[in-house]
């Protein structure tokens, strides 16, 4: 039975956000703006809660949602709640579609949000997409959380409220991205994540690419074989000379390339197995992604076969893998490299993922790689996961450039000062001398800087410094002004995000039959 229509409620709550309105199990939920900012509103009628389900819901509303209660029409109770962590948790319980769940082999996309304000724009783009994506709105790496001074709980809660506000009613995941330690896992498990990306990049030995056969064998002999539950002899017996039949041909595993794969990735395998077992011991359903993309050398087909086969032998169950592909996946710009070469390389990885899986291939640093999305979608037959992050921050800066030229110029000047330091942990090729100087541009030209290759990357990789910089008096140098501008013009920011991600998602819209 319908409680109230949106139009009825708008007469009393003129600042209701219409897309957020939903009725579920005898209660109505919506987001509204008032003098305190945004608040969650709930209307329920405890006198009509006869069924067990409705009684449980009323108990949830009464006991778990923290807010101000008052009598409303026809024996209903109105509760106005702040957007707090307890209320985000209660909302996920009350509206199960907001609770992170397993996404399986569906085509999926992760939407990183470094400011906690981008999810409404992300959801609007998804609603427009002709390709069905399973979204991960809460996605942020531990490195990004440290640089933005956010916690796993804040990231998840901001995504929850953002998805609710936008009226997203489909499934959602939550990605604890680029985890490196068991402590990283613990923090994200406690927050309620469903998807965990293990990054063993620190254990990958890129020097194996340049070593002689004897030097490679020394590295193989020194691997942590006890953790790998094997021995050098058993390893060689299991794999050497093996042929893996793919759809377009066979891959013969020679002793040399097998040993080089083990020398390069053996310690990373052991680390992933340790992390996986730590996670599995928590005793709840989850999905695992393994990422070896942040390395200097590409992952060859033999190395991919070695990784997938060894994970299977060690009992490590994963839903997606991010190899290091040929070419360059730099931050905030399109793919750099020969498309024919990428397609041939990616085709081999996609076939291996089907033959030894199935599992998805993941595109890390995946934003703005418009030239390869169709290739990835077609060759994986839809079993692909896209990860984006900093591009949403850049759309925030594009919004500010159009609204507050003085603030944007200050951020850009600061980014130029920080670039040489901050670029150290990223694969980028922007050069300061190729980027326009802040004072060389008219105010009307500032938004176009977000389309300039070098300026774009300079702004991209300095996000952490910009968001945490302090003035001499100890106050935030940019953060408060950025957030105030975006909150005051949230629709402009959402429109920029919607337009930008419409372009991303449209590029995936091909037939995979």
Higher pLDDT, 138 or 73: 138
Q: What value does the mean pLDDT take over residues 467-473?
A: 94
Q: Per-residue pLDDT for 223 more than 80?
A: yes
pLDDT band at 74 (very low <50, low <70, confident <90, very high): confident
pLDDT at residue 509 in the model: 85
pLDDT band at 224 (very low <50, low <70, confident <90, very high): very high
pLDDT at residue 64 in the model: 85
pLDDT at residue 269 in the model: 98
pLDDT at residue 371 in the model: 97
pLDDT at residue 50 in the model: 52
The per-residue pLDDT of the chain, averaged, comes to 94
The 10 Å Cβ neighbour count of residue 232 is: 16
pLDDT band at 513 (very low <50, low <70, confident <90, very high): low
pLDDT at residue 55 in the model: 59
Q: Per-residue pLDDT for 213 more than 70?
A: yes
Q: What value does the mean pLDDT take over residues 358-367?
A: 97
pLDDT at residue 53 in the model: 57
CB 148 within 8 A of CB 114: yes
Residue range 265-310, pLDDT digits in tens: 999 999 999 999 999 999 999 999 999 998 999 999 999 999 999 9
Report the alpha-carbon distance of residue 31 to residue 260 in Å, rounded.
56
Q: Per-residue pLDDT for 382 more than 80?
A: yes
With pLDDT > 70 as the criterion, what percentage of the chain qualifies?
96
Q: Which of 144, 165, 175, 177 is catalytic?
A: 177
pLDDT at residue 57 in the model: 59
Q: Per-residue pLDDT for 179 more than 90?
A: yes
Q: Per-residue pLDDT for 510 more than 80?
A: no
Give this prediction's pTM. Answer: 0.95
pLDDT at residue 209 in the model: 93
Q: Per-residue pLDDT for 59 more than 70?
A: no
Q: Per-residue pLDDT for 188 more than 80?
A: yes
Which letter, b or e, does each residue of 14-42 get, where b requires 16 or more Cβ atoms within 10 Å of its Cβ? eebbebbbeeebbbbbbbbeeeeebbbbb
pLDDT at residue 361 in the model: 98
**Residue 307, H or E segment:** helix 301-313
Residue ranges in 336-478 assigned as alpha helix (H): 339-355, 370-380, 390-403, 405-422, 453-461, 463-468
For the question of residue 289 being annotated catalytic, the response is yes
Burial class (CB in 10 A: 0-12, 13-18, 19+), 252: exposed
Residue range 84-141, pLDDT digits in tens: 999 999 999 999 999 999 999 999 999 999 999 999 999 999 998 988 999 999 999 9
According to CATH, the topology of domain 100-209+216-391 is TIM Barrel (3.20.20)
Report the alpha-carbon distance of residue 404 to residue 398 in Å, rounded.
10
pLDDT at residue 493 in the model: 98
Q: What value does the mean pLDDT take over residues 355-372?
A: 97
- Cα distances (angstroms) measured from residue 267 to each of 257, 263, 264, 289, 513: 17, 8, 8, 17, 39
Q: Per-residue pLDDT for 470 more than 70?
A: yes
pLDDT at residue 92 in the model: 97
The 10 Å Cβ neighbour count of residue 388 is: 24
In 3-state terms the chain splits into helix, strand, coil percentages (rounded to 5) of 50, 15, 30
Q: Which of 19, 165, 175, 289 is catalytic?
A: 289
- Output phi, psi for 245, to 5 deg: -85, 115
pLDDT band at 511 (very low <50, low <70, confident <90, very high): low
Q: Where are the domains of the chain?
A: 6-94, 100-209+216-391, 393-502
pLDDT at residue 26 in the model: 82
pLDDT at residue 47 in the model: 60
Report the alpha-carbon distance of residue 364 to residue 372 in Å, rounded.
13
For the question of residue 175 being annotated catalytic, the response is no
pLDDT at residue 473 in the model: 92
Report the alpha-carbon distance of residue 354 to residue 140 in Å, rounded.
28
With pLDDT > 90 as the criterion, what percentage of the chain qualifies?
87
Residue range 4-57, pLDDT digits in tens: 888 888 888 899 999 999 998 888 999 999 888 999 999 987 665 555 555 565
Residues 6+ apart with CB under 8 A from 119: 111, 113, 137, 158, 159, 161, 162, 163, 165, 166
pLDDT band at 63 (very low <50, low <70, confident <90, very high): confident
């Amino acid at each position: 039975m319908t409680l109230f229509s949106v139009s009825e409620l708008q007469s009393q709550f003129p600042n209701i956000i219409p897309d957020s309105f939903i009725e579920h199990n005898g209660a109505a939920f919506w987001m509204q703006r008032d003098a305190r900012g945004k608040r969650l509103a709930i209307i329920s009628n405890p006198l009509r809660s006869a069924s067990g389900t409705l009684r449980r819901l009323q108990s949830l509303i009464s006991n778990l949602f923290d807010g101000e209660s008052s009598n409303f029409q026809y024996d209903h109770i109105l509760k106005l709640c702040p957007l707090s962590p307890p209320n985000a948790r209660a909302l996920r319980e009350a509206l199960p579609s907001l609770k992170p769940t397993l996404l399986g082999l569906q085509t999926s996309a992760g939407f990183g949000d470094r400011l906690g304000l981008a999810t409404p724009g992300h959801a609007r783009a998804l609603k427009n997409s002709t390709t069905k994506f399973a979204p991960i709105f809460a996605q942020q790496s531990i490195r990004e959380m440290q640089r933005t001074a956010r916690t796993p709980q804040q990231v998840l809660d901001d995504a929850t409220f953002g998805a609710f506000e936008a009226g997203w009613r489909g499934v959602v995941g939550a990605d604890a991205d680029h985890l490196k330690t068991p402590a990283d896992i613990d923090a994200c498990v406690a927050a309620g994540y469903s998807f965990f990306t293990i990054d063993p990049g620190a254990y990958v030995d890129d020097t194996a690419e340049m070593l002689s056969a004897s030097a490679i064998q020394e590295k193989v002999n020194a691997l942590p074989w006890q953790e790998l539950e094997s021995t050098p002899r058993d390893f060689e017996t299991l794999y050497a000379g093996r042929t893996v039949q793919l759809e377009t041909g066979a891959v013969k595993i020679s002793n040399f390339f097998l040993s080089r794969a083990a020398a390069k990735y053996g310690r990373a395998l052991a680390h992933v197995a340790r992390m996986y077992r730590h996670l599995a011991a928590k005793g709840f359903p989850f999905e695992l992604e393994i990422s070896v993309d942040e390395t200097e050398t590409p992952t060859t087909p033999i190395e991919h076969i070695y990784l997938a086969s060894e994970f299977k032998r060690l009992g490590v169950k994963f839903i997606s893998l991010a190899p290091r592909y040929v070419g360059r996946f730099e931050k905030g710009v399109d793919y750099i490299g020969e498309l024919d070469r990428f397609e041939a390389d990616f085709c081999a990885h996609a076939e291996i993922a089907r033959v030894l899986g199935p599992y998805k291939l993941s595109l890390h640093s995946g934003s703005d790689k418009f030239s390869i999305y169709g290739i990835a979608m077609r060759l994986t037959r839809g079993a692909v996961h896209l990860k984006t992050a900093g591009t949403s921050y850049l759309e925030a800066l594009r919004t500010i450039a159009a609204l507050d030229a003085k603030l944007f110029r200050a951020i850009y000047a600061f980014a130029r000062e920080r670039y040489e330091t901050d670029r150290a942990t990223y694969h980028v090729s922007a050069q300061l001398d190729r980027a326009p100087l802040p004072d060389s541009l008219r105010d009307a030209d500032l938004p176009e800087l977000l389309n300039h290759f070098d300026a774009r990357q300079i702004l991209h990789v300095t996000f952490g410094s910009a968001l945490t910089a302090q003035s001499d008096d100890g106050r935030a140098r940019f953060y408060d002004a950025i957030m105030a501008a975006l909150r005051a013009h949230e629709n402009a920011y959402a429109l920029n995000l919607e337009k930008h991600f419409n372009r991303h998602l449209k590029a995936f819209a091909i037939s995979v039959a």
